Amino acid sequence: MWESVDLDLLQEATLETLHMVGISTLMTAVLGIPLGVLLVVTDRGYFWENLVFQRILAFVVNIFRAVPFIILVLFLFPVAKLLVGTTLGPTAATIPLIAGAAPFYARMVETAIRDIDRGVIEAAQAMGASRLTIICKVLIPEAFPSIVSGLTVTCVSLISFSAMAGIVGAGGLGDTAYRFGFQAFNDAMLYSCGILLVVLVQLVQAVGDWIARALDKRS
């Protein structure tokens, strides 16, 4: 059965998946961390309290979290076309991947920051630290192990999302599994793509857990 596996095709599909997931994870971190911080520091009782802004931001974040990913892909086709000139391929797929993952990750960052003892923030304020200094030198460093763990979970989810995006023309292992495995009645290709996705998830989780443990002051 395994002689029907096209190794060149699997290599290309794996690189496309890594392309999608790598760019999406990076941009999710770039967008999700500031969003998560804003969700906290603009809430009641924090130093940038602005309840109107906080409620609007939380509402927008919840909208993107509520939309099923496959519908989000279809909804953002015009945006992908506008930004990258096409709706097909791994680069175009990063648009809905980021839009789906960044709000999810922002909530994880929010939770990590809310777990910080308020006394730490109050001590920094008492020493005259500016708001930006508190964010950069207190909140993010204190929550960083949890932020890294959250990014690991998000990256694993992005691997799954990238496989779903492959069904609608994104390429990658999901597309290869569907077209050259399922539709071609080639079980070996289908199983090979599935195994590679599992391996990617295990590697990402292992590396993410190791980094989080290394950063955790309690360990």
Report percent pLDDT > 90 for the chain.
65
Average pLDDT, the chain: 91
Between 5-9, 17-21, 187-191, the lowest mean confidence (pLDDT) is in: 5-9
Integer Cα distance of 206 and 188 in angstroms: 27
Q: Is residue 125 very low, low, confident or very high in pLDDT (cuts 50, 70, 90)?
A: confident
Per-residue pLDDT of 137-152, as tens digits, reads 999 999 999 999 999 9
Count of C-beta atoms within a 10 Å radius of residue 44: 8
User: 21 pLDDT exceeds 90?
Assistant: yes
Residue carrying structure tokens 């930006």: 132
Integer Cα distance of 170 and 91 in angstroms: 8
The whole-number pLDDT of residue 1 equals 61
In sign, the C-alpha dihedral spanning 69, 15, 185, 191 is negative
Domain around 197: 2-215
Q: Are 76 and 95 in contact (CB under 8 A)?
A: yes
Per-residue DSSP letter, 44: T
Among candidate residues 111, 137, 140, 124, the one with its CA nearest the CA of residue 40: 111
Per-residue DSSP letter, 117: -
User: 121 pLDDT exceeds 90?
Assistant: no
Structure-block tokens of residue 45: 């009782």
Q: What is the mean pLDDT of residues 45-68?
A: 92
User: 219 pLDDT exceeds 60?
Assistant: no
In sign, the C-alpha dihedral spanning 154, 157, 163, 165 is negative
Integer Cα distance of 93 and 158 in angstroms: 11
Higher-pLDDT residue of 57 and 4 is 57
The whole-number pLDDT of residue 86 equals 85
Tally the domains of the chain. 1
**For residue 61, what are the contacts with CB-CB under 8 A and spacing of at least 6?**
35, 39, 103, 106, 107
Q: Is residue 216 very low, low, confident or very high in pLDDT (cuts 50, 70, 90)?
A: confident
Per-residue pLDDT of 164-178, as tens digits, reads 888 888 889 999 999
Integer Cα distance of 147 and 93 in angstroms: 25
Chain-centre distance of CA 144, in angstroms? 16
CATH of the domain at 207: 1.10.3720.10
Per-residue pLDDT of 177-215, as tens digits, reads 999 998 888 899 999 999 999 999 999 999 999 999 998
